[in-house]
Structure 1
Amino acid sequence: MYRERAAVGIPAAVRWVSVSSVAGPVRVLPDGCLDLLWSSRAGLLVAGPDRVAQVSWSAPGERWIGLRLPPGVGPAVFGVPAEEVRDRRVPLADLWGRAAVEPAERIRAAIDPGGARCAADWSDAGATILEEVARARLRAGGGPDPLGAHVAARLAAGATVAATAAEVGLGARALHRRSRALFGYGPKTLARILRMRRALELARRGVPLAEVAARSGYADQAHLTRDVRELTGVPPTRLLTSPPD
């Protein structure tokens, strides 16, 4: 089971819940985001921005609640540059110390480990707590750096890195430095990941792959296939037979 919906009070953030019905691999595609997670097995975690797909093993009945923060927002919530958690899954306590204890206890109480709550109740309660924690951190820190949302939006729309740098008034080196702190990697890597996400979204709507490649800025379908395989470990045809991550 997997479902998601828009978060409250954090623009472009998504709250999601997942329950594993069987044991098996789970492939999480890179998206430029950082996630605040709760796992019934591991507790509160921070999922850093990935450069390539991460494959983990789910256990039957394992429950996950997540808050996916859009590119550039995570550092303001977690208090560290995104590159410090790149390609990592880090216990929240490693970043916040004792400040992570209170939200962990609230979630443990809200999910009702005794099983009295129905699935919708425990997941909604847990996701609401994650949202509240993230909103409080954003208020305390003065909000996310607006550069992050602007750069990510321009790159997601297909703008070149050079054009984006000129638009925000930064040189190439300065934009790369700011991008590593905001997204975990440079703007070229973020642009590549966002282009792949855009292409897969079109393909899932039924657009033929050759047309997807042309509309997404790839040289041809072979370029699209090669890029998707390098970022995810499998070709796009394989991804299209599975539900989106």
Structure 2
Amino acid sequence: MYVERLPDPAVSGRVAVLWVHVAEGDGRHLVVPDGCVDLIWGPHGPHVAGPDTGPMYTRMRAGDTYVGVRFLPGAVGGALGVPVEELRDLRVPVADLPRSDALRRMTEEGPGASRSELQRLMLATVVERLGATAAPDPAAPHVAAALRAGRTVAEVARRLGLSERQLHRRSLASFGYSPKTLQRIVRFQRALRLARAGRPLADVAADSGYADQAHLANDVKRLSGVTIRRLL
């Protein structure tokens, strides 16, 4: 079972969704890159899932429960106390992060809490951390949106009045990725949305900015580790 719900409007510009995943059987759960950072409470306590550049697997047993808060791409800012690029392709226990009062209270109060209580506690922690740290780069949403719309990295830099080197530096700080990597990931996610809506794969490739269906298939395999049909 996997369920998402929208966050409180107070954090809707920084948090994408709140989610719960209860494993229905033993096995490995595939996670593919989406440009996001998640704060997660799982069977072994709270941890952070950094921005991924390739497939990641979580081994689950039937009944394992995971409760998460997913930040929008580029929106985590300084909320976790470490540069987002240092979290890339990592799963980091909250205990290993700089311990703010909010994170300390969460780890002390969370054990034994119900799913709904954990979600409220984690969201309250995020709200407090967002209020106590610097806001993310205001250009980040525009960068992600422009790349998602098919703009080239050079076009995005020009539209923002930046050099490509400046855009590269600000992209790493916001997303944990270079603009080129971010471009591949948002294009991949757009393709998945279109394919899951039932569009023919040739149309998906054209509408997502791939050169052709073979280009789509190869990029999906590199980012997810499986074929697009298997992923769907």
TM over 0.5: yes
Q: Once the 2 structures are TM-superposed, how far is the Cα of residue 76 of structure 1 from its aligned partner?
A: 2.5
Structure 2 residue matching 1:74: 3-state secondary structure: coil
Show the counterpart of 2:39. Answer: 36
Distance 2:58 2:177 in 1: 22
Question: What pairs up with 1:97-116 in 2 under 5 angstroms?
Answer: 97=99, 99=101, 100-111=103-114
Question: What pairs up with 1:28-177 in 2 under 5 angstroms?
Answer: 28-39=31-42, 41-97=43-99, 99=101, 100-111=103-114, 123-177=115-169
Unmatched runs of 5 consecutive residues or more in structure 1:
112-122, 241-245
Distance 1:135 1:88 in 2: 23
Query: Quick check: 1:27 aligned with 2:30?
Result: yes
Q: With structure 2 as the length reference, what TM-score do the two structures score?
A: 0.93
> Which stretch shifts more, 148-157 or 42-51?
148-157
Structure 2 residue matching 1:77: 3-state secondary structure: coil
Percentage of pairs with the same residue: 48
8 Å CA contact 1:22–1:58 kept in 2: the answer is yes
After superposition, the Cα gap between the structure-2 partners of 1:157 and 1:106, relative to the gap in structure 1 and judged at 3 Å, is: farther
Q: Once the 2 structures are TM-superposed, how far is the Cα of residue 106 of structure 1 from its aligned partner?
A: 2.4
Q: Once the 2 structures are TM-superposed, how far is the Cα of residue 75 of structure 1 from its aligned partner?
A: 3.1
8 Å CA contact 2:47–2:92 kept in 1: the answer is yes
Question: Which letter does structure 2 place at the counterpart of 1:31?
Answer: D
Distance 1:96 1:103 in 2: 13
Question: Which letter does structure 2 place at the counterpart of 1:106?
Answer: E
Residue-pair matches, total: 228
Structure 2 residue matching 1:108: 3-state secondary structure: coil
> Which stretch shifts more, 10-19 or 142-151?
142-151
Q: Once the 2 structures are TM-superposed, how far is the Cα of residue 53 of structure 1 from its aligned partner?
A: 1.2
8 Å CA contact 1:138–1:144 kept in 2: the answer is no
Q: Once the 2 structures are TM-superposed, how far is the Cα of residue 108 of structure 1 from its aligned partner?
A: 2.2
Distance 1:125 1:152 in 2: 33
Query: Quick check: 1:16 aligned with 2:8?
Result: no
Distance 1:49 1:3 in 2: 21
Show the counterpart of 2:4. Answer: 4
Question: Which letter does structure 2 place at the counterpart of 1:36?
Answer: L
| RMSD of equivalent CA atoms | 1.4
Q: With structure 1 as the length reference, what TM-score do the two structures score?
A: 0.89
Distance 1:26 1:195 in 2: 22
Show the counterpart of 1:117. Answer: none
Distance 2:133 2:100 in 1: 18
Show the counterpart of 2:206. Answer: 214
Unmatched runs of 5 consecutive residues or more in structure 2:
none
Distance 1:94 1:132 in 2: 20
**1:55-102: per-residue Cα shift (whole Å, max 9, x none)?**
121122211000110111123211221110100000112112364331
Question: Which letter does structure 2 place at the counterpart of 1:2?
Answer: Y
Distance 1:164 1:226 in 2: 25
Question: Which letter does structure 1 place at the counterpart of 2:166?
Answer: A
